[in-house]
A and B are shown apart, each in its own frame.
Chain A
Amino acid sequence: MAKFKNHILVCAGTGCRASQSELIVENLNRAIEDNNLGDEVQVVRTGCFGFCEKGPVVKMMPDNTFYVQVTPADASELVTEHIVKGRKVNRLLYVDPDSHKVISDSKEMGFYKKQIRIALRNCGFINPENVDEYIARDGYAALGKALTEMTPEQVIKEIIDSGLRGRGGGGFPTGLKWDITRKVKADQKYVVCNADEGDPGAFMDRSILEGDPHSVIEAMAINGYCTGASKGLVYIRAEYPLAIERLKIAIKQAREYGLLGENIFGSDFCFDIELRYGAGAFVCGEETSLIHSMEGLRGEPNVKPPFPSESGYKGKPTNVNNVETYANIPVILLNGSKWFSAIGTEKSKGTKVFALAGKVNNVGLIEVPMGTTLREVIFDIGGGIKDGKKFKAVQTGGPSGGCLTEKHLDIPIDYDSLLACGSMMGSGGMIVMDEDDCMVAMAKFYLEFTVEESCGKCTPCRIGNKRLHEILEKITQGKGTKEDLTLLRNLSYVIKDTSLCGLGQTSPNPVLSTMENFADEYEAHVVDGKCPAGQCKALMQYVIDPEACVGCTLCSRVCPVDAISGEKKMAHIINPAICIKCGACMEKCKFNAISIQ
């Protein structure tokens, strides 16, 4: 193998690939050829660096120079300047938006400063399609250690002591789950990885699978050793073609190296992994639905207990864990439970990966120690709100979570404190909203999702959520009453209390939390007939300022429904009864005379 002096790391995650990072790789390779540097410089396609906002990202090693928003046309300059002449290409470096200073080392950027990468330790560092690079960073050492030096009980004790809790949403202690699965007697057991990631706006698990698939494979094998399972199944969304591809490659390589298959590390432990594909149903992220789906059935949940640990896939004990939960396992075994439990808060140990998105400056994938505050995440890491607007709310926990506000910004992020203020950790989606977002419309958006995704098995969720959605629709149309608000609240509690699975039990959370934190906004909709954020179309009015209008007649000519009248050279008026609020007039007006009220 040739020893390379320089490595150029190019992000090949879904986000950066969408901005042509493949072409950047091609052009870099061509430039390297042209400069006869083929023996010295290697281009590596890596998983997500996390800083998706500034993608495509290209990182130069060994000097750690971090280039942002690179285009394919920049490739040859990067090679001739940075590599050949040793000069940084300044225009592609990151500029700190506050200090306006150029920062070339990612460790110095606000976005990375407060992060600790455990689950994402390899994302953006290794080529996920090459098992040797994973092994070079201590990959499969934890599996080797478990198989040759530890008993299953010792491994499980280490996981219990670490305090690791499930990252899929529920936060159940992982070691305990493993122990339960281990203790059930059966001729066959299964290890399942939940890679369904249904929360829209979340992409943590996908990034781990794309950037570091072997860590999940290794952890599943360790679980198999502990629980006595010889078969692993990864349930992955069909919408994630790149993650599927990388997993397939990783499984194949692991088999070739004898890290999967018969007698792993010379022990009598045998283990192999297969893939099962989801088909676009959110409820299949729920573990009992997931198991039904893997059995070729409609993905409808069951009443628990029995839990999958007792009776799961094909009626056998099945250990279901989330992708990120697994990704933590190998490091815990290598560094020890003490190291892990020193990070985080009293009841939530370690770190959590979040997909930070919405109206923040730095959209991306971040990993922070438990106990970091929302303020640090949104303002220090996220770089504050886009376009200098005002922060309004942040939704954690996706459609099952709640909207948190200004007053929650300083609470430490962990399972229990988020639950205490009416939201939840969820799988790690974090959507930031600004003053332009209407909270009633937001609740409606989430309910629309729930209604679409309810499996229909139980009545409160199937019918109740539909009614909730209808009431919210009525309110955003300006036809809501005060009684509707009471109804909305009562119905929400009924749905929470009586639904069969976690989907229905949490679906009213966005409604309840917005009603609690933005009561005045609901009031404004039903009492004053106004949408303070100016988002609900039915409650908006386009008006012409008679002072500013010069009577050019342009607006009345573009109005598709003839709602505007007025003499030439005289102020015009819009008839609200006819206006369909398309905004065409406002767009055309050259005198800024038309506004929304």
Chain B
Amino acid sequence: MANIKLPDNKKKELKEVCAKLNNDPGELINALHAAQGLFGYLPAEVQELVAQEMNVSVAHVYGVVTFYSFFSMTPKGEHPISICMGTACYVRGAEKVLDEFKKLLNVKVGETTPDGKFSLSCLRCVGACGLAPVVTVGDKVFGRVAPEDVKTILEEYNN
């Protein structure tokens, strides 16, 4: 099933991380955090490697990866967009903002635009509820976003 070739240097780095965690199955989640940090996401090939290094079955790794929403098995866009759907943002109109992003990007939640530029996802509370509704693009946080602002936000990244 392996059809992505993982770069050797990153593979080596991941193995080193696992060794640092004493290849202890109890540290699996920390290993997966590190792996996602390295590769950006967790395709089957990475999961196989983690399983091998952490001394657990691939099925176990898959079970853990799919349980936690922080782990992703699909690559994110160059600029990952997340709409906060926490309660504070929801009551201040996050849904309308999400609809606007869906409309302008023409993708659904969890998808990436065909050019790989933007991916769209929802998350629950980034802890900036005072600025609700909140949108994050990469590490940048946009507060008090109105549907009308969506176009401007996208333009910032579109050139």
Residue ranges of A at the interface with B (Cβ–Cβ < 8 Å): 14-15, 17-19, 52-53, 55, 198-203, 206-207, 238-240, 276-282, 293-299, 314, 355, 357-359, 363-364, 395, 398, 429, 431-433, 437, 442, 445-446, 449, 452, 455
Contact = CB atoms under 8 A, between A and B. Distances in A.
* Interface of chain A: mostly helix, strand, loop or mixed: mixed
Interface of B: 24-30, 32-33, 54, 56, 63-64, 67-71, 85-92, 123-132, 134, 141-143
Given A201-B86, A203-B125, A364-B130, A279 B29 contact: yes
B91 A52 contact: no
A277 B89 CA distance: 25
Given A14-B126, A276-B30, A296-B64, A445 B92 contact: no
Contacts of B130: 15, 52-53, 55, 357, 363-364
Given A17-B141, A203-B128, A280-B69, 18 more contacts: A15-B127, A18-B131, A18-B134, A52-B131, A200-B124, A201-B88, A201-B129, A238-B70, A239-B126, A276-B29, A279-B69, A280-B123, A293-B29, A296-B24, A298-B64, A358-B91, A363-B88, A446-B87
A445 B68 contact: no
Nearest to A429: B87
A432 B143 CA distance: 19
A213 to B, nearest CB: 15
A227 B88 CA distance: 38
Contacts of B89: 201
A180 B48 CA distance: 42
Contacts of A398: 87
Contacts of B134: 18
B129 A280 contact: no
A445 B90 contact: yes
Closest 9 A/B residue pairs (Cβ): A52-B130, A279-B68, A201-B87, A296-B28, A357-B88, A200-B86, A280-B70, A18-B141, A200-B124
A294 B100 CA distance: 38
B26, B67, B69: residue with the most chain A Cβ atoms closer than 10 Å: B67
Contacts of A299: 67-68
B128 to A, nearest CB: 4
Contact of A18 (B29, B64, B143): B143
Contacts of A432: 91
B124 A449 contact: yes
A295 B143 contact: no
A202, A437, A446: residue with the most chain B Cβ atoms closer than 10 Å: A202
Nearest to B27: A296
Given A296-B26, A445-B90, A240 B127 contact: yes
Contacts of A437: 91
Contact of A281 (B33, B68, B141): B68
A277 B143 contact: no
A249 to B, nearest CB: 19
